[in-house]
């Protein structure tokens, strides 16, 4: 029978409108992962990639009043109703055993992109807004994380080490790594800037939505 608009999850941008059919016969999905799993074939058939499937994941994870944008400042950007912002980079590999190691270019390019966004802040107010409490810099990945710097960030977030410890770590690896320029940009930040910036970074592990 014909479907009404209420039977669809709707995503729109300036050029297109996408409608994803809710599977009402199966009942409401218990989780976002279940929804993605149910509609995997629909997304693949429509030509969507992992990045868009990840967009759908976060679309279904946010609350009323929040706004989500696809491919703007980042792969995905969430503007929360409380004024906070999530910058989300999607880094999926077709090989589920791929490791995110210290030399992973996806990781360091992402950090570089976020540093560039911060460098565009021309006033103290803009800088404070970018680094304010509640903002999140998210790498959404199916890679197996085996990364010394990420481990340091987690220790910082858990309160096991402080900012100077992380700076010492960066100074120790500077000039000996291929991502030297990104390390230099991090070290160029003031003490409080570096700590606030790093505390925003988090890794969210995911399954490969469309694998």
Taking the C-alpha atoms of residue 146 and residue 152, their distance in angstroms, rounded to an integer, is: 12
Asked if the model's pLDDT at residue 32 lies above 50, the reply is no
Taking the C-alpha atoms of residue 113 and residue 93, their distance in angstroms, rounded to an integer, is: 20
Q: Poorest-confidence range of 100-104, 131-135, 172-176?
A: 172-176
* The pair of three-digit structure tokens given for residue 193, joined into one six-digit string: 């800037």
Three-state secondary-structure class, residue 73: coil
* The pair of three-digit structure tokens given for residue 69, joined into one six-digit string: 């944008």
Taking the C-alpha atoms of residue 73 and residue 114, their distance in angstroms, rounded to an integer, is: 9
Model pLDDT for residues 48-95, shown as the tens digit of each residue = 467 877 888 888 888 888 999 888 888 899 999 999 999 999 988 877
Model pLDDT for residues 104-146, shown as the tens digit of each residue = 999 999 999 999 999 999 999 999 999 999 999 999 998 988 8
Q: Enter the pTM of the model.
A: 0.76
């Amino acid at each position: 029978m014909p479907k009404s608009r209420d039977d669809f999850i709707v995503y729109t941008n300036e050029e297109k409108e996408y409608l994803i059919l809710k599977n009402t016969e199966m009942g409401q999905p218990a989780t976002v992962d279940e929804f993605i799993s149910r509609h995997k074939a629909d997304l693949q058939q429509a030509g969507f990639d992992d990045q868009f499937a990840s967009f759908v994941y976060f679309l279904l994870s946010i609350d009323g009043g929040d706004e989500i944008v696809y491919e703007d400042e980042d792969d995905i950007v969430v503007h929360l109703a409380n004024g906070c912002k999530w910058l989300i980079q999607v880094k999926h590999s077709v090989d589920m055993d791929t490791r995110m190691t210290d030399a992973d270019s996806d990781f360091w390019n992402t950090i570089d992109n976020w540093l560039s966004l911060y460098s565009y802040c021309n006033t103290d107010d803009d800088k404070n807004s970018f680094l304010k409490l509640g903002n999140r810099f998210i790498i959404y990945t199916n890679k197996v994380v085996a990364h010394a710097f990420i481990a340091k960030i987690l220790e910082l977030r858990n309160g096991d080490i402080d900012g100077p410890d992380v700076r010492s770590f960066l100074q120790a690896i500077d000039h000996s790594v291929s991502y030297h320029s990104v390390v230099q940009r991090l070290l160029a930040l003031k003490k409080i800037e570096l700590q606030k910036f790093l505390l925003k970074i988090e890794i969210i592990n995911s399954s490969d939505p469309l694998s």
